[in-house]
Chain A
């Protein structure tokens, strides 16, 4: 991977239709348009998900109502893994095609990924206490998820520690791509090792109606988490675009439009 000169970052990648939205000035307004659909979807899915979680899904025969943590725990754990893979993907794209937007996408995803990883660990601990009798155990699933949380933190800390954004991007990309090996380890940990953490799902086999409503609630909450994540990452990537490119013409025009009262610009 040869280091490109800094000036390359300033050359807009116009001309390639495939990469049309790969340049910040074209992606910025698109991201802005996508925000409201994301927020509305997140809100509606959360309301539907919570209603299903608490009022439709019945009490579990073996775990009682403690199992209702699943409606946050599983979507959070899924998101923490999906976001890490997305980060690694964008970093790889950035290294290969040298597109500056890819690295911004990766940076924009990291805090939200860390948030979900923390929530997965937190809710897992609160679920572990009533079901296993302990908040924490060093088993493969829990430990690898904790490592995922540290990888997110490490990525953000490294990026924050390096002043030159180009170098920060490349250093961060190394963590993101090498750390991606941890994601399949988390996923398969319950198969590869004897873990206290259960396999796929909680007593979904009890009765078909039960399985359906519990699963529906979980999927609704997972979709809500997707919508929220996309929305919040889009806001952050827009902020990063302005922060990094505020001395370029397209941000100048944006600021001018903003001072004329057009905040959607």
Chain B
């Protein structure tokens, strides 16, 4: 075990700022990418569903005419 206390762990031997800024920014960017990509997927599905609904509406209108 490298650390005797939580304080020692967060201090990272005096390099806490550099180590934790690296890990925090990486975690934040990965999380942001996951949010962005799932949003993009949802938007794509919604767009496809909307187009399908519009096509059907057009088709039924034409059917009635």
Contact = CB atoms under 8 A, between A and B. Distances in A.
Interface of A: 54-55, 57-59, 64-66, 68-69, 72-73, 76, 111-112, 115, 118-119, 122-123, 126-127, 129-130, 228, 232, 235-236, 238-240, 242-243, 246-247, 251-252, 254-256, 258-259
B22 interface: yes
Contacts of B43: 239
B44 A119 contact: no
Contacts of B44: 239-240, 242-243, 246
A239 B2 contact: no
Interface in B1-59: 1-3, 9, 12-15, 18-19, 21-23, 25-26, 29-30, 33-34, 37-38, 40-41, 43-45, 47-49, 51-52, 55
Interface of B: 1-3, 9, 12-15, 18-19, 21-23, 25-26, 29-30, 33-34, 37-38, 40-41, 43-45, 47-49, 51-52, 55
For the complex, would chain B's binding face be called helix, strand, loop or mixed by DSSP majority?
A: helix
A242 B9 CA distance: 46
17 contacts: A59-B2, A65-B13, A66-B13, A66-B18, A68-B12, A126-B19, A232-B34, A238-B41, A239-B37, A242-B41, A242-B47, A246-B47, A247-B51, A252-B48, A252-B52, A255-B45, A259-B52
B33 A115 contact: yes
B25 A255 contact: no
A246 B48 contact: yes
Contacts of B25: 119, 122-123
Contact of A258 (B1, B14, B40, B45): B45
A126 B21 contact: yes
Contacts of A115: 29-30, 33
Contacts of A258: 45, 49
A123 B25 CA distance: 9
Contacts of A240: 44
A236 B38 CA distance: 8
A123 B26 contact: yes
Contacts of A129: 18
B7 to A, nearest CB: 13
Given A126-B21, A127-B22, A255-B48, A119 B37 contact: no
Contacts of B19: 65-66, 68-69, 126
Contacts of A76: 26
Contact of B9 (A54, A127, A228): A54
A59 B48 CA distance: 53
